Structure 1
Amino acid sequence: MSDPASPTGRPDPQRAWAFLPASPLPGAPDGPLRGLSFSVKDLFGVPGWPLRASTRAPVPDPGVSPLVERLLALGASAAGKTHLHEIALGITGLNGFGGTGHPTLPGRVPGGSSSGAAVSVALKQVDFALGTDTGGSIRVPAAWCGVVGFKPTKDHPAWPTGGVLPLSVTCDHAGPLARDVATVTRVHEALTGHAAPPVPLDGLRVGLWCPAGWVTDDVRAALLDVTDTLRRAGATVDPVEFPEVLDAYSPIVLSEAAQVHRAALRLDDPGFLPFTLASLRQGAALTGAEVQAAHGRRATYRAQLDDLLTRFDLLLAPAVPTPPPAQGQDEVLLPDGPTPLRRAVLRLTAPFSLLGAPVVTLPTRTPFVGAQVIAPHGQDDRLLGLAQRLERTLETP
């Protein structure tokens, strides 16, 4: 296969696939995930498969992913590797091989960085997809492609990030995307070995985080529809406040990404796209004191989130500020005014990867607009149980 950007054997107008083998890697015939197929974001090391991270630049070898090996042992088959936003440093799907398009809206972005993962699920090419999430990279494409995304608690033993090319060791997570919560839950239960049954919504205390001016009117209306659904099911929903965390997130992620790609940065022209290269060089220029200060701010934000999650069972938040923007669009118009797209998106999603809390992103009744459901650290099973019940309730007319 000469060009991983144009794998043969399957029409791929969205450029979702980075590598398709002659035949899938088969899963164990008697495993609990037998019959399911999955795609692998091209950051995971798979023996015999190339790893390019959707860039023309050289990248380090992370070794073999134990998560991929575990899923195969549990019976799922691996269909191939999917494209991502270059080295996972972005939220639209742009990369060194032309970028990935939206599964059903030509000219619109699918979200990133797990862009091909979301597209492969939305188009029913696989049952679930392996993605990574450093600042929203599972949740944003899930929302904009109309599928479910799950970012587990940071360092969850069932979802290891070993054998995955890192972006930020502080913020990186591995997790799945699927068309429904039931599939995500089935995979999670197989990996953990215990059940995550549906949990009633009655009596839940839900904190609604939807900062004024940060989302378009249709996104706000979609989220309020979810809150109305929760209230009708017996939950209480009250507004909460939480700060923007990008002053901690950006220095940490960029400095750690620059360390990962330090060998390529020594080259005069490493092959990164201009924005990626500029971001990595910005990270490399940060001083130790600046990064340490960012970690101090992160600790403050973690304490604030922990306090919120002692007063509420769940937080509900928008996953994206707008419906899918146009390819090449770098600014969105929000009630607060024109806002850079990257900031508009990340300020909604980055808090929960920076701080490691588990999150499920669910489709809402408004197409291609998702809602984040956030739980306390370590309550992944209960979160999935609640998400199953909420998904079913939202599907009821």
Structure 2
Amino acid sequence: MTDATSAVPDPQRAWAFRPASPLPGAPGGPLSGLTFSVKDLFGVTGWPLRASTRAPVPDPGPSPLVTRLLALGASAVGKTHLHEIALGITGVNGFSGTDHPFLPGRVPGGSSSGAAVSVALGQVDFALGTDTGGSIRVPAAWCGVVGFKPTKGHPAWPTGGVLPLSVTCDHAGPLARDVATVTRVHEALTGRAVSEVALGGLRVGLWLPGGWVTEDVRVALRDVAGTLTGAGATVEDMDFPEVLDAYSPIVLSEAAHVHRDALRHDDPGFLPFTLASLRQGAALTDTEVRAAQERRAAYRAQLDDLFTRFDLILAPAVPTPPPAQGQDEVLLPDGPTPLRRAVLRLTAPFSLLGAPVVALPTRTALIGAQLIAPHGQDDRLLGLARTLERTLGLA
């Protein structure tokens, strides 16, 4: 198979591999006529897998999710770039990184950066991404598209055949320009219809830590909350802690285990930040990791308790509009904050704890909202997201 990537105009550097012709979907399937891109962590027979790094990476084998989508009729166009090995939220990688689809010099978000760009530019109907701490939701928000992170372990969205970052936090899921397309793919994979869900009577918890987001993000989320209230939902402010004291040790230790062979070399080829993070993970003791896992269990209990009071949680998907390439700090009401921490403390709780989330655009450009539902309520969440998208006038 010929790699025709270099012949395809790609100023955003979103594409890692584009063959001369797509892998065709089976004719007559429920997804016939749709095209999709594949984040370059998924194994696809006959296609290379580099995880957007110059370092050697393990071969995860073929992805059953890709195989299933092809069997359902969708055609795979090629592979998209990501933040190197998925360990980051901006799109930086060993191949010059990915740029924003509409704002040159701004980050598209990551790690599913090329996935979001390919959807935002209309190059595909949907994209396969992964989400370990926000890697579907953050680029969806900053590129103005929809992202769906299913419940951890959802049988329709397997992570087999995907190069892991963190086996206990990784999720596979789609990005698309609207909830209807995401829902169509989910319905085809599950064999179940998803019905729209009325917003009236919904109990919504609004998680909007004032010091963690810029004013335009706060206004955008209050607009969504007001729309929900106007549709008959009740919205109540709620709190949730920062979970990075559990998230970071778990993810870094698991990532170091995945890349243990490469880490035997002094300079395996990772970018400096990636290598330093992996070495930090490798240095964690079993005691430190167990303590992080115990903290995760406590946070899961807190989230479960919230869902005895609320049917849905509404939260910002990003703390600011898209930052500049190379920017590593953002100014928030609480003060200057490292970009990685500013983003992950909003998104990491729900991948750490495995809850289903839809990232939905808001009426403020390139600022997304997270809709979080209880574990296993993926179909109902998509039904709610589609109703809210229409009520907001976004579809």
In structure 2, what is the Cα distance between the partners aligned to 1:197 and 1:176? Answer: 19
In structure 2, what is the Cα distance between the partners aligned to 1:196 and 1:59? Answer: 38
Map Cα deviations across residues 220-274 of structure 1 (whole Å, 9 max, x no partner). Answer: 0000000000000000000001000000000000000000000000012100000
In structure 1, what is the Cα distance between the partners aligned to 2:84 and 2:31? Answer: 30
User: Equivalent residues in 2 for 1:16-27 (5 A)?
Assistant: 16-27=14-25
In 1, are the aligned partners of 2:100 and 2:143 still within 8 Å (CA)? Answer: yes
In structure 1, what is the Cα distance between the partners aligned to 2:162 and 2:370? Answer: 25
Three-state SS of the structure 2 residue aligned to 1:262 is coil
- What is residue 339 of structure 2 aligned with on the other side? 341
1:158 is aligned to 2:152: no
CA RMSD between the two structures: 1.1
- What is residue 284 of structure 1 aligned with on the other side? 282
Pick aligned residue for 1:183 from 181, 204, 209: 181
In structure 2, what is the Cα distance between the partners aligned to 1:127 and 1:35? Answer: 9
- What is residue 72 of structure 1 aligned with on the other side? 70
In structure 2, what is the Cα distance between the partners aligned to 1:176 and 1:197? Answer: 19
TM-score when scaled to structure 1? 0.98
In structure 1, what is the Cα distance between the partners aligned to 2:259 and 2:394? Answer: 48
Paired amino acid for 1:316: L
User: Equivalent residues in 2 for 1:103-142 (5 A)?
Assistant: 103-142=101-140
- What is residue 89 of structure 1 aligned with on the other side? 87
By how many angstroms is 1:396 displaced? 6.9
In structure 2, what is the Cα distance between the partners aligned to 1:65 and 1:49? Answer: 12
In 1, are the aligned partners of 2:210 and 2:218 still within 8 Å (CA)? Answer: no
In 1, are the aligned partners of 2:363 and 2:394 still within 8 Å (CA)? Answer: no
Three-state SS of the structure 1 residue aligned to 2:135 is coil
By how many angstroms is 1:212 displaced? 1.9
- What is residue 239 of structure 1 aligned with on the other side? 237
- What is residue 226 of structure 1 aligned with on the other side? 224
Three-state SS of the structure 1 residue aligned to 2:360 is strand
Pick aligned residue for 2:361 from 338, 348, 363: 363
In structure 2, what is the Cα distance between the partners aligned to 1:106 and 1:75? Answer: 34
Map Cα deviations across residues 171-221 of structure 1 (whole Å, 9 max, x no partner). Answer: 000000000000000000000000111110000000000112000000000
In structure 1, what is the Cα distance between the partners aligned to 2:151 and 2:252? Answer: 22
Deviation >2 Å, runs of 4+: none
By how many angstroms is 1:9 displaced? 3.1
- What is residue 251 of structure 2 aligned with on the other side? 253
In 1, are the aligned partners of 2:149 and 2:358 still within 8 Å (CA)? Answer: yes
By how many angstroms is 1:8 displaced? 2.6
In structure 2, what is the Cα distance between the partners aligned to 1:396 and 1:145? Answer: 14
Pick aligned residue for 1:53 from 48, 51, 54: 51
User: Equivalent residues in 2 for 1:257-268 (5 A)?
Assistant: 257-268=255-266
Three-state SS of the structure 1 residue aligned to 2:321 is coil
- What is residue 146 of structure 1 aligned with on the other side? 144
Three-state SS of the structure 2 residue aligned to 1:395 is coil
Three-state SS of the structure 2 residue aligned to 1:328 is coil
- What is residue 352 of structure 2 aligned with on the other side? 354
Map Cα deviations across residues 26-74 of structure 1 (whole Å, 9 max, x no partner). Answer: 0000100000000000000000000000000000000000000000000
In structure 2, what is the Cα distance between the partners aligned to 1:357 and 1:302? Answer: 10
Paired amino acid for 2:57: V
Paired amino acid for 1:192: T
Q: Give aligned pairs, total.
A: 395
In structure 2, what is the Cα distance between the partners aligned to 1:23 and 1:7? Answer: 11
1:172 is aligned to 2:170: yes
Three-state SS of the structure 2 residue aligned to 1:219 is helix
In structure 1, what is the Cα distance between the partners aligned to 2:294 and 2:117? Answer: 37
Three-state SS of the structure 1 residue aligned to 2:392 is helix
1:332 is aligned to 2:343: no
TM-score when scaled to structure 2? 0.99
Map Cα deviations across residues 115-158 of structure 1 (whole Å, 9 max, x no partner). Answer: 00000000000000000000000000000000000000000000
In structure 1, what is the Cα distance between the partners aligned to 2:352 and 2:21? Answer: 38
Pick aligned residue for 1:293 from 282, 291, 294: 291
Three-state SS of the structure 1 residue aligned to 2:212 is coil
Three-state SS of the structure 2 residue aligned to 1:105 is coil
Aligned pair in 2 of structure 1 residues 15, 311: CA closer, same or farther (>3 Å)?
Answer: same
By how many angstroms is 1:387 displaced? 0.2
Q: Which ranges in structure 1 are unaligned for 5 or more consecutive residues?
A: none
Map Cα deviations across residues 70-111 of structure 1 (whole Å, 9 max, x no partner). Answer: 000000000000000000000000000000000000100000
Q: Which ranges in structure 2 are unaligned for 5 or more consecutive residues?
A: none
In 1, are the aligned partners of 2:202 and 2:311 still within 8 Å (CA)? Answer: yes
In structure 1, what is the Cα distance between the partners aligned to 2:273 and 2:307? Answer: 36
In structure 2, what is the Cα distance between the partners aligned to 1:396 and 1:292? Answer: 44
Paired amino acid for 1:231: T
In 1, are the aligned partners of 2:212 and 2:342 still within 8 Å (CA)? Answer: yes
Pick aligned residue for 2:191 from 190, 193, 199: 193
Three-state SS of the structure 2 residue aligned to 1:254 is helix
In 1, are the aligned partners of 2:37 and 2:126 still within 8 Å (CA)? Answer: yes
By how many angstroms is 1:10 displaced? 1.6
